[in-house]
Structure 1
Amino acid sequence: MIPTLQWTSEGVSFLDQTKLPQVETYVLARNYNEVADVIRNMVVRGAMAIGVSGAMGVALGIQQSTAVTLPDLNAEVEVICDTLAKTRPTAVNLFWGIAQIRDLYNKLAAENVAIDEIKSQVVALAQTLYDEDIANLKVLGAYGADLLPKEGTILTHCNAGALAACGYGSALGVIRAAVERGYKIDVFADETRPFNQGTRLTAWELTKDNIPTTLICDNMAGYFMGQGRIKAAIVGADRIAANGDTANKIGTYSVAILCKEHGIPFYVAAPFNTIDIETLNGKDIPIEERAAKEVTHVNGVQVTPDGVGIANPAFDVTPAKYITAIITERGVLRAPFEESIAAMSKQTK
């Protein structure tokens, strides 16, 4: 697997996803502010990758602190966490990753552990979270593969693959696991305007894995469903509410409705930390509004008339009633999701 992000002695190295598929190049974030910029500018993207990136950003900030007393370091940690938390508001995994490092720091600080030892432990935890992400997604992939047809075409939207995680992927991890079992499946990848994650990333990633992939425009899904071509749809998630309502890349809601109309199973694949039990339903999920230029320009070329109004919500919310199942590394959740999520949240990790 090409590493999406990697801890190094000089900082955190990120595969620059804004340059794919034409150029494979890396950006080195040498401090937590640069990690924040990388997340904000979508050099790294995808809820799972953002979560671990946030954790690494906090750990990097703590490691590089010159504070000599815990009170001084406490104040720095608050600034570090706040800076990273403001980068992408919808992906709950970001706040999870930040909290993992902050909670360990608070525990060690309360025990009056030496600052050098604190630095060592938070860095070790950030690296462990990276390894756990890949391991968890392989387990998730196996659960999901059980649900897919043994042959046929699977539709996916946006990119919930290795590029959206530390490796392997959630929605594409399920597809990978199915292919590894010998299933004869191929993929229809939505282009996913306006940032073109399907065009640039999913098509690139699956092609590199020799998984047969056809790129389609976002507005073609209904046509192919009507033709009987699509046997299932599977997507990732950036936040799942306690009742199963799911925020994912803009356009997901439309795909889910089309699946319901055509009797096609619609699956959401995401690690369990994507579920936010404090958010009761989809109406409470904050939706990030991104820059107009993502809509007005394609590859740096303006394609819209000057002065036209632009709306660019990055996500939409799919109500739980349209979701066939939610696939996690702990198992498969089904309706009523409020009950199944509550029961699974009580399980020991």
Structure 2
Amino acid sequence: MDRETIRSMLSVENQQLFDQIVTGAVLGAGNHIRIIGNIILNIAQKEEAPIEIKKQKIEAVSEFFKATRGKSSYAFINAMNIMTSFLHKENCTVADIETAVLSYDKGNEANCERIITYAKRAVAGSKTIMLYDYSSTVEKFVKALEPGMVIYIPESRTIDGGRPFIEPLKKARHDLRYIPDACMMSVLKDCDAVCIGAETLYPDGTSFNTAGSDILAVLCKEFNIPYYVLTPLLKIDMRALQGIYKDVIAADLKVKLTAGWEAEQADAVDCYSIELVGVKPQYISAVITEAGILPPAAVYTEALAYQERITKGGSL
């Protein structure tokens, strides 16, 4: 089903939640999955309909986000599979739906706390950190640091991915420095570490994030600055082991890049650009997951164990 068909199936409350995701008003895979969980709970708890109709709506919403957001972040496919594990259960009840969603939330929260603990150890002693592109995991980690850190935030212009950090980190009383992407190299020498999130993680440690993450990784390697990827194993895409790789994610950025231009000027240029890039393992100091501070080569073993656990219906 297309976007408008799915939206039309939803209540007004759920349409507002749906729009937060599809319009980009809220960023971060973790935030989006949390919102989808709320949509599922609203369908289960608030709609007056037979359980089979509720299940059909939930499945339609789940499949829509797996087919759309799942292209950039495999977390959506893993999370939707876990949160909708009740769909083929006989005599499914509202309580079964609630249990599936709330169990996911509980496991995800516990994993995030572990990542924060390990990430704080990884940057212990640091006074200045650079963050590239919004990540709800990275936000929670930086909010858990002692106030007064100097935080460089490049704009991440392709999706305006730096700005969502500003409000929550301002409240955390850090010293925020918002800079153009092109200035990353000039301030990197002052940084003790760089931290990014990931949309998808391959078993070899390759980490996918917004365009610019790859440039920053190369710069970090050149200047010997630790480059950390903070991500739950939920984002692992095991299909890479079968030679099945992500499609290129690109978009027309004309509206963003030519804002304020004369129409004739804007019409004269092509602004089609890649949005998501893979950062190769050789540029990554560590992938910080709920399993620990992993050198990229160690991701494979943890990914296999994780996949086996969730395939058997285990917890996150």
Does 1:99 find its partner at 2:81?
Answer: yes
Quote the residue 1:253 is aligned against. 214
- The TM-score with structure 1 as length reference comes to 0.74
Quote the residue 1:172 is aligned against. 139
For residue 221 of structure 1, report the CA deviation from its aligned partner.
1.2
Any gaps of 5 or more consecutive residues in structure 1?
1-11, 13-27, 165-169
Question: Can you list the C-alpha shifts for 1:179-224, whole angstroms capped at 9, x where unaligned?
Answer: 27xxx632111111033221x2212221121011111111111122
* Aligned CA distance change for structure 1 residues 152 and 29 (closer, same or farther; 3 Å): farther
Q: How many angstroms apart in 1 are the aligned matches of 2:291 and 2:159?
A: 31
Tell whether the 8 Å contact from 1:140 to 1:173 is kept in structure 2 after alignment.
no
Quote the residue 2:293 is aligned against. 332
Identity of aligned residues (%): 19
More helix per residue? 2
Residue 170 (structure 2) aligned to one of 207, 212, 215: 207
Q: How many angstroms apart in 1 are the aligned matches of 2:34 and 2:243?
A: 24
Bigger relative CO (Cα 8 Å, ≥ 6 apart): 2
- Pairwise mapping of residues 1-349 of structure 1 onto structure 2 (< 5 A)? 30-31=13-14, 35-63=17-45, 68=50, 70=52, 75-88=56-69, 89-106=71-88, 109-110=89-90, 112-113=91-92, 118-160=93-135, 164=136, 170-179=137-146, 185-198=149-162, 200-225=163-188, 228-280=189-241, 284-298=245-259, 301-302=260-261, 305-342=266-303, 344-345=305-306, 349=316
Tell me the secondary structure at the aligned position of residue 35 of structure 2.
Answer: helix
Question: Can you list the C-alpha shifts for 1:259-286, whole angstroms capped at 9, x where unaligned?
Answer: 0111111000011211222333998123
Quote the residue 1:18 is aligned against. none
- The TM-score with structure 2 as length reference comes to 0.81
Q: How many angstroms apart in 2 are the aligned matches of 1:208 and 1:69?
A: 43
Question: Can you list the C-alpha shifts for 1:291-327, whole angstroms capped at 9, x where unaligned?
Answer: 43453355xx458622311113321111111111111
For residue 64 of structure 1, report the CA deviation from its aligned partner.
5.8
Any gaps of 5 or more consecutive residues in structure 2?
1-9
Question: Can you list the C-alpha shifts for 1:12-66, whole angstroms capped at 9, x where unaligned?
Answer: 9xxxxxxxxxxxxxxx9623x5544331111222011122223333443455666
Q: How many angstroms apart in 2 are the aligned matches of 1:44 and 1:291?
A: 20
Tell whether the 8 Å contact from 2:115 to 2:292 is kept in structure 1 after alignment.
yes
For residue 176 of structure 1, report the CA deviation from its aligned partner.
3.1
Q: How many angstroms apart in 1 are the aligned matches of 2:16 and 2:126?
A: 44
Tell me the secondary structure at the aligned position of residue 312 of structure 1.
Answer: strand
Quote the residue 1:21 is aligned against. none
Tell me the secondary structure at the aligned position of residue 178 of structure 1.
Answer: coil
For residue 100 of structure 1, report the CA deviation from its aligned partner.
2.0
* Aligned CA distance change for structure 1 residues 53 and 47 (closer, same or farther; 3 Å): same
Number of aligned positions between the proteins: 298
* Aligned CA distance change for structure 1 residues 177 and 250 (closer, same or farther; 3 Å): same
* Aligned CA distance change for structure 1 residues 322 and 66 (closer, same or farther; 3 Å): same
Tell me the secondary structure at the aligned position of residue 155 of structure 1.
Answer: strand
For residue 133 of structure 1, report the CA deviation from its aligned partner.
3.6
Amino acid at match of 1:188: Y
* Aligned CA distance change for structure 1 residues 197 and 29 (closer, same or farther; 3 Å): farther
Q: How many angstroms apart in 2 are the aligned matches of 1:50 and 1:279?
A: 24
* Aligned CA distance change for structure 1 residues 321 and 341 (closer, same or farther; 3 Å): farther
Q: How many angstroms apart in 1 are the aligned matches of 2:77 and 2:38?
A: 12
* Aligned CA distance change for structure 1 residues 337 and 307 (closer, same or farther; 3 Å): farther
Tell me the secondary structure at the aligned position of residue 179 of structure 1.
Answer: coil
Give the superposed CA RMSD: 3.0
Tell whether the 8 Å contact from 1:320 to 1:337 is kept in structure 2 after alignment.
no
* Aligned CA distance change for structure 1 residues 141 and 42 (closer, same or farther; 3 Å): same
Q: How many angstroms apart in 2 are the aligned matches of 1:332 and 1:65?
A: 43
